[in-house]
Amino acid sequence: MNGYERFCFNLIGRNLNEKRGDFVRLRRDLTGARMNTPFEAYLATAYVTSVIVGLVAAVFIGSVTYFLRIPEMITYQGAVPAFFYALNDYKLVIGTTIITILSFLILGGISCLTFLLYPGIRAGERRRNIDATLPYAINYITAMSSAGVTPDEVFRLLGQSEIYGESAIEARYVSRETDFFGKDLLEALRTVSQATPSERMREFLQGAVASISSGSDLTEYFRTKAHRYTLENHQRQKAFLETLGLIAESYVSAMVAGTLFLIILQSVMTILSGDKTPLFLYIIIYLIVPFGSMMFIILVSSVAPEG
């Protein structure tokens, strides 16, 4: 924990232990993301930060609203209840109060939600990296196992390698369990398999436990898993290329041809009508095109395999 997290924990964290049952997924994501902050400290940091962000935003937005007298810009049109006219003299105070409260609730809520979602996002990134690097990591430990290196040393050497990304980090946790907590290799593999966010890594470690327990040929198990995961990676890359082709066709149809047709059509209609402020044309150019392109970028990034 850093100093700020320690401050938040000392402030309210000691009372959050009873919340553990309500945030099972958050605790799992914190473990899978390998974030070293304890659950109570992280949740306390989320709550305190959300309140601070909400208060700062509320004071700032409320001050701007009051000094610019934004509520007084509201005018009543048509049939409205009589009490609206009765409150007209207090419009500035009431409007500023409402905007201030809404600013606190909305921005504070967004801040808290960001804290709650971040571990899951980070765990998802680690899962994709592990899935992408695991076949190469297993090839590495297969070569070492074939040379007669003991299983615990195999995972220790894998953890010391920097080129296997998050797979090497998971191997370091196996070594940590054996070196610092005094567990045997089987118990260390079980512990890490329960904490890893990757189903592939979990299956691999549990299979290694079963292979060691039964006295099977561990090197052959490594070789089989390496071949299987490499084949699965090739299939995933092929599926991604097919999906990418479909997305590219959709982008050309929707964001290139579609928007070009709408721009030409709206331009012609604007010329014929003599409209000097073509609002819909501005929406197409300044909203639909950039935000649509951004959505396609996010879509490609979400389906792209790691590595």
pTM for this predicted structure: 0.75
State the average pLDDT for the chain: 86
Model confidence pLDDT, tens digit, residues 22-34? 888 998 999 999 9
Residue 51 CA from chain centroid, whole number = 22
Reported as a single tens digit per residue, the pLDDT across 146-176 is 888 888 899 999 999 888 889 999 999 999 9
The residue that leads in pLDDT, 83 or 302, is: 302
Residue 225 has pLDDT above 70, yes or no: yes
| pLDDT, tens only, 228-243 | 888 888 888 888 888 8
> What residues does each domain of the chain span?
3-124, 127-231, 234-303
Judged against a pLDDT cut of 60, whether residue 83 lies above it is answered with no
Tens digit of pLDDT for each residue in 92-134?
Answer: 788 889 899 999 999 999 999 999 999 999 998 899 889 888 9
pLDDT tens, 175-211? 999 888 888 889 999 999 999 999 989 999 999 999 8
- The region of weakest confidence among 45-49, 72-76, 230-234 is 72-76
Quick check: 46 and 112 in contact, CB under 8 A?
yes
- Is the pLDDT confidence value at 79 over 80? no
**pLDDT confidence band for 75 (50 / 70 / 90):** low
Percent of the chain with pLDDT over 90: 29
